[in-house]
């Protein structure tokens, strides 16, 4: 089990979606071998079938790639919600103490024992708290990137309360309201539905943008020399 049953199940579902995405990528990469078909009719039928299969796979893959990113963020948020109360509870025991090597080792060992994550503190511009899920060997879990758990102190009234002070003292008075997980929204209950909503919204925005670009072209064609032509920065054609 990884941290708890809910997160373990979420990771298994995410991995299944990623395996399906790789299957779809392989379909879109299938080479066309016309020499396998002796007649023109067979060749045309096989080519049409391949194009249909590739198009269907590409469409499913587009939605699934968005869905897997949503699932990844869901897991990040689940781990954060589970781990940050544990981390802050541990830090309360060391409030005001210097963050030396022995203290660092004790904090990290307790965090690992309680929720199978590492815990380190930083001062300065970068993240104040680093929580990293571990695998069964005690190493950083391969599923997560190094910056998936950038945890910062929130600014309140123009200042923030970091986990580690400038003189290397531990701030054990932090609450969950004092910190946040960078670049990660709240849990999305239905990732596949959200992915479809994103694709639909993207398609509609692209349609509106194309229409607006046509209107701008018409407008520019009316202008005399000496008046700057108008332009807009466009959407990319993919997400």
Per-residue pLDDT of the chain (239 residues; tens, 9 = 90+): 678 899 999 999 999 999 999 999 999 999 988 888 889 998 899 899 999 999 999 999 999 999 999 999 999 999 999 999 999 999 999 999 999 999 999 999 999 999 999 999 987 665 689 999 998 888 888 889 888 998 988 887 777 888 998 889 999 999 999 999 988 989 999 999 999 999 999 999 989 998 999 999 999 999 999 999 988 776 777 77
The pLDDT of residue 13: 96
Tokens 């995410």 found at: 14
pLDDT at 125: 61
Q: What share of the chain is helix, strand, coil (3-state, %, to 5)?
A: 55, 10, 35
Tell me how far CA of residue 135 lies from CA of 84, 139, 143, 146, 212, in angstroms: 18, 6, 9, 14, 51
The pLDDT score that the predictor gives to residue 1 is: 65
The residue ranges of every structural domain in the chain are 5-181
Residue 122: what pLDDT? 86
Please tell me the predicted confidence (pLDDT) of residue 153. Answer: 86
Residue 126, pLDDT score: 58
Taking a C-beta distance cutoff of 8 angstroms, is the pair 121, 170 a contact?
A: yes
Q: Are 174 and 96 in contact (CB under 8 A)?
A: no
């Amino acid at each position: 089990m990884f941290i708890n049953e809910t997160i373990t199940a979420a990771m298994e579902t995410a991995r299944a979606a990623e395996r399906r995405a790789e299957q779809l990528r392989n379909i879109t990469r299938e080479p066309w071998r016309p020499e396998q078909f002796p007649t023109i009719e067979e060749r045309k039928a096989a080519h049409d079938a391949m194009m249909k299969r590739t198009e269907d796979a590409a469409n499913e893959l587009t939605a699934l790639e968005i869905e897997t990113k949503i699932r990844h963020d869901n897991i990040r948020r689940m781990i954060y919600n589970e781990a940050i109360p544990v981390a802050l509870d541990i830090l309360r025991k060391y409030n005001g103490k210097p963050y030396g090597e022995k203290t660092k080792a004790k904090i990290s060992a307790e965090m690992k024992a309680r929720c199978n994550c590492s815990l380190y503190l930083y001062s300065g511009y970068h993240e104040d708290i680093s929580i990293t899920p571990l695998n069964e060997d005690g190493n950083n879990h391969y599923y997560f990137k190094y910056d998936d758990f950038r945890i910062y102190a929130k600014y309140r009234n123009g200042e923030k309360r970091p986990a580690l002070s400038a003189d290397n003292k531990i701030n054990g008075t932090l609450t969950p309201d004092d910190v946040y997980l960078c670049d990660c929204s709240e849990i999305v209950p239905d990732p596949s539905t959200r992915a479809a909503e994103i694709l639909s919204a993207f398609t509609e925005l692209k349609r509106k943008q194309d229409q607006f670009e046509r209107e701008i072209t018409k407008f520019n064609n009316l202008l005399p020399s000496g008046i700057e032509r108008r332009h807009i920065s466009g959407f990319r054609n993919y997400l």
